[in-house]
Structure 1
């Protein structure tokens, strides 16, 4: 009898964890993915032609095929840049273990509820995830962004993808028309178009796409919102710790790209001849330079096509996608970027603000704090909190309903990986994706993952209603308590997860910082 019971148990467990293959037809071919425990996954799906050789630094071209494609393995990332004094520290946090890299990198991944027995009436909402990484690194192939948990627990479709970063995606070069410099944003647009064309085949609803990103990914989401004022290819937007105010510089000098060109031996005058020379340089040579001590930074430029210098005015005037928005920041977004900094005057000078505000004035914005904490909070406010305040206020002013603003304050012992970390930049993501370290997570962390994931999924499913109990629509100012403080003081259950406060209680320093953010 014991033998029989053991045999039956073994058969049951094998069935429960068995994988089967599933095929879906798309514009990229017949994709052979995997189905397991109610979730279909399709990995390494090519959506763009290889941006290599003559197609390096060119707008992405769609990949179209009728052939059968293996879609069971995550693709390499695009070529990464980890440079400057903090390179080793940042790579240890965001690329550990390292993901294989390749210039041929325009691939995406889809996780969807199994469609067996479903009908077209049961099409699911879709999350289109854009990763962060300062537009210098990052990939949709990180295990942290695995969509299995969200899909399984929440019954929605999750799409992650790669876009070109650093010099490959945002070269800042006079060799190209200004409108062709933000190639990474064009990659994002192409991936979103692929989702629009194909997601129904996975049981997803192309009319219910939410674009969602964190850090540079949230900046990317903000760009999509502003450049799609009419018939946006999404119905809602989520911005975790990132929005573009009106302070992005226009491109005038091209210093980083010109120095790179000279360093790799392409010394022609800027133009087609130099570009041809640079397209013949090996990927490895370029990566060695951009990850070396002489590299400059590469990022988005205002081209008035993908990126604008008057975002807030566009939103206020209704000249942006009029969709529900959920946006906010971490309580300690600044600690990651100010590790080891103790000199407030030096921090302000390095930020380009020393000529405009004094250290003594800044200290008055954060009373009772030492300079280390003032630096971290000032960085948070300048880069994350005040932009979130400006964006959500602009949407409210434009007449958009269903605006939700938050600040996330969960602190867990296993995430305190550097001094003064707190609820630091990006630590909400393993909780959102359910990819936290189960061997080190506390019970509260496990509970918060379920609570937070459900709240975000609620917004994805219906962005016109409150995503969690006690989370009201956002109204700026000091008269109503509508800014949701999430998971403060160990409150991780659905019933106490949200503590609503007035926005002015968090935004007071923005009275100074907004002068540099809202032109």
Structure 2
């Protein structure tokens, strides 16, 4: 049975697309004092950039599989070069495609266990009027991903939208989510603890870059959206952010993981020569294994998946109920999904019955048959039914549950969307469409300038501005004709973005019936909302 967390978190990092080369203007050095030291960054063309800022001690040696330890220094620090990525896991049947699409293959980042760094881009010069801040969390199934790639460069947003941009690294796969019985349950979701420490650093230091610590919006895509979901749930009181943006990653309810979740870690420990019973002795042995050898295992054919455990501290199994009860951060929310979020994950799948069985759906509910599922998607062939089923179970229906729960809890500033832009240079596999993560180069302005059509260039400006408008004022409509979301069939508040080539500010939003995309969720919500 496929894990629902695995399905919902796979992928989301960056694309092949990178900025075209432009005119290089003069740079100057700029220094800002922080708790991590006196950072020497670069000022160029109205943007200050500080890259590779250490926010935690290296999580290696005795600190491997320990909560992150804050890094504090008063020394001078170079902040002009992106840091190493945390070790990434590209495994299983999709490994080659995943790495090709999401790891900047022309110039892949160096990987290291010493990877807990963040980056800041800020309008220059820093003014006395503090600016909104966006805190970006990358995706990648909590197995891979990094802030150290060109596609997440914050220059365009900082320059064009007058916003401070922060991107962070966090531990993934066995380094960040070991699922280890050797550790306390609450010490297993280390990647989430890394994210929280990075956010604490931003609260402490962002004012020195011209940012307002009281105007932070947390934003993530896929596993990054899942991570944002977690922050929303675990900060019901005085959240350290004022708004949240979830691109294709809202977290549904899940059945609690149990001892079975330790299987991948136990197999890993045996494979690398630490055959002791679970406990301190085995942990000590594993801390002696080189990080490179661990990466070789996790990227090899015998590795399992390493996922969050339900610990009732960083993750919970009753997210929807918590939101409905007001037991979550009561902040404005913008959330949605791609029209074709499922195509990337189902390349080559044509047998619907086999897909349902392999995904574990039929084991959960015997009523989920191929005939029943086909009836939810009339007029479609099985290839399209499979892709749309994946989209709905993993992305669309969780977003529907989250946005409805937010409204039900009394949060009035909720904006829901579905993104439908399709561009020729992004059609990188059959039946791609508006596929998972293709909104990101438009958002960051890091699309391939040499292949982008004029419509793609225009949409990048339009979409980036809409998201920036929400970051600047999350209680107002982010774009013309984009209403606040009210669930149900009696309102037209679902924003379809960039459908049918509509990319201009005045036509990029088409408001449609609020639950018009949710019909299949009648079945799938049984799996998502316990």
TM-score, normalisation: structure 2:
0.94
Give the match for residue 93 of structure 1.
Answer: 101
Give the match for residue 246 of structure 2.
Answer: 239
SS of corresponding position for 2:372: helix
Q: How many residues align?
A: 503
| 8 A contact 1:57–1:168 mirrored in 2 | yes
* Matching of residues 18-417 of structure 1 within 5 Å: 18-97=26-105, 98-115=108-125, 118-119=127-128, 122-253=129-260, 254-355=262-363, 356=365, 357-417=368-428
The verdict on how the C-alpha distance between 1:26 and 1:56 changes in structure 2, with shifts beyond 3 A counting, is same
SS of corresponding position for 2:132: strand
2:149 and 2:323 map into 1 onto residues whose CA distance is 33
Q: Deviations over 1:190-226 (max 9, x none)?
A: 0000000000000000000000000000000000000
Cα drift, residue 76 of structure 1: 0.7
Q: Which has the higher contact order (CA 8 A, sep 6+)?
A: 2
| 8 A contact 2:397–2:521 mirrored in 1 | yes
In structure 1, runs of 5+ residues without a counterpart are 1-12
Q: Deviations over 1:143-172 (max 9, x none)?
A: 100000000000000000100000000000
Q: Deviations over 1:328-380 (max 9, x none)?
A: 00000000100000010111011111242000000000000000000000000
Find the structure with the greater CA-based Rg: 1
2:501 and 2:404 map into 1 onto residues whose CA distance is 28
| 8 A contact 1:333–1:425 mirrored in 2 | yes
Structure 2 residue 471 is matched with structure 1 residue 463: no
Cα drift, residue 249 of structure 1: 3.7
| 8 A contact 2:130–2:207 mirrored in 1 | yes
| 8 A contact 1:345–1:354 mirrored in 2 | no
In structure 2, runs of 5+ residues without a counterpart are 1-21
1:487 and 1:272 map into 2 onto residues whose CA distance is 54
Decide which moves more: 355-364 or 249-258: 249-258
2:254 and 2:350 map into 1 onto residues whose CA distance is 26
TM-score, normalisation: structure 1:
0.96
| 8 A contact 1:172–1:251 mirrored in 2 | no
2:486 and 2:198 map into 1 onto residues whose CA distance is 34
Cα drift, residue 248 of structure 1: 5.0
| 8 A contact 2:333–2:415 mirrored in 1 | yes
Cα drift, residue 504 of structure 1: 2.1
SS of corresponding position for 2:362: coil
Q: Deviations over 1:228-264 (max 9, x none)?
A: 0000000000000001111254232210000000001
The verdict on how the C-alpha distance between 1:248 and 1:159 changes in structure 2, with shifts beyond 3 A counting, is farther
| RMSD, aligned α-carbons | 1.0
Cα drift, residue 99 of structure 1: 1.2
